[in-house]
Amino acid sequence: MSVDLPARIQLREAVTPTDGLLEGPRVLHEPRKEYELFTLRPLSRVIGAEIDGVDLREPLTPELREELNRALLEWKVIFFRDQDITSAQQRAFAANWGELETNPFIPKGDDDAVTRFERTAAMPGYENIWHVDVTWRPEPALGSVLRLVEVPPVGGDTMWADMAAAYDNLPEDVRARIDGLTAVHDYLPGFDRFSDPALLAQWQDRFPPVEHPVVRTHPETGRRTLFVNQAFTTHITGLDRAESDRLLRYLFLQAHTPEFQVRFSWRPNSVAFWDNRATQHYAVNDYHPHVRIAERVAIAGDRPF
């Protein structure tokens, strides 16, 4: 026996806030090219892969450098296990991608190009916010190579988000709205709660606020990438403050989508190499008061467009 249903079922009014993430399918583009010089194991559909068969103590051949670069561009962050390397070898590996840069706000390792994150019971971590490194520079870093010198007994993972996938999945009207906009980036929001004011004041003239596109074009892949982050982006140019804050909050949320993320659990002698032009990252601060010591080498980048 059939049941006749009303032509239009009336539901009570129930609307969730529109300035947030919504459920439903995500558009995910998974690279499927083969690699000849190493074995690659994806850790998610779109971002993050472990590489076996490469010894970072050895110089890279041009062919290996080219294939590793393809893996970096396709997977945005690549991981190497069981790499007992020194700071000098870490720098030498990173230098295959260009000139190395320094960071005046983070303590140094054994070289100006090495930044050292030493987190202890007395100095807990504060990198637990989704961010892109040094977007307060006119030419933000191309990428970074990170190794953990001391791994806590539990916790201390790092997460990365694919910001090209985040852009691809924005509603069409949002993409139309933000294409062509620029935003201001400043080092002060990311450091003023944890750094010596005298140190911050010392660099104000050297690093004034800079403008970057809200959506940048990756210089090698051509993909459109969402390029604002909560640590350093202060406002969108040309919008009043309330409208800018509202739009930025929405755009910042996109990095929180699990389908765009990979989470890496560190072990001794693990190394991560990420594309700073295409990702955001987040250092999970769940290991305090245990010690976590990491050293990072950053590769100088170019001006976003």
Q: Which of 91, 137, 147, 296 is catalytic?
A: 296
DSSP string, 225-291: EE---TTTEEEETTS-HHHHHHHHHHHHHGGG-GGGEEEE---TT-EEEEETTTEEEEE----TTS-
119's tokens: 């987190």
Q: Which of 91, 131, 223, 292 is catalytic?
A: 131
Burial class (CB in 10 A: 0-12, 13-18, 19+), 201: exposed
C-alpha–C-alpha distance, residues 140 and 193, integer Å: 22
> Phi/psi at 115 (nearest 5 deg)?
-100, 140
CB 178 within 8 A of CB 251: yes
> Phi/psi at 177 (nearest 5 deg)?
-70, -40
Q: Kindly report the CA angle at 164 between 185 and 183, in degrees rounded to 5?
A: 20
Is 281 annotated as catalytic? yes
Q: 293: closest CA among 97, 115, 118?
A: 118
Q: Which of 91, 223, 224, 281 is catalytic?
A: 281
Q: Which of 91, 133, 224, 292 is catalytic?
A: 133
End-to-end distance of the chain based on CA atoms, in angstroms?
A: 64
- C-alpha to C-alpha distances, 43 to 49, 260, 293, nearest whole angstrom: 5, 12, 24
Strand, helix or coil at 74?
helix
Is 133 annotated as catalytic? yes
Residues identified as active-site: 131, 133, 281, 296
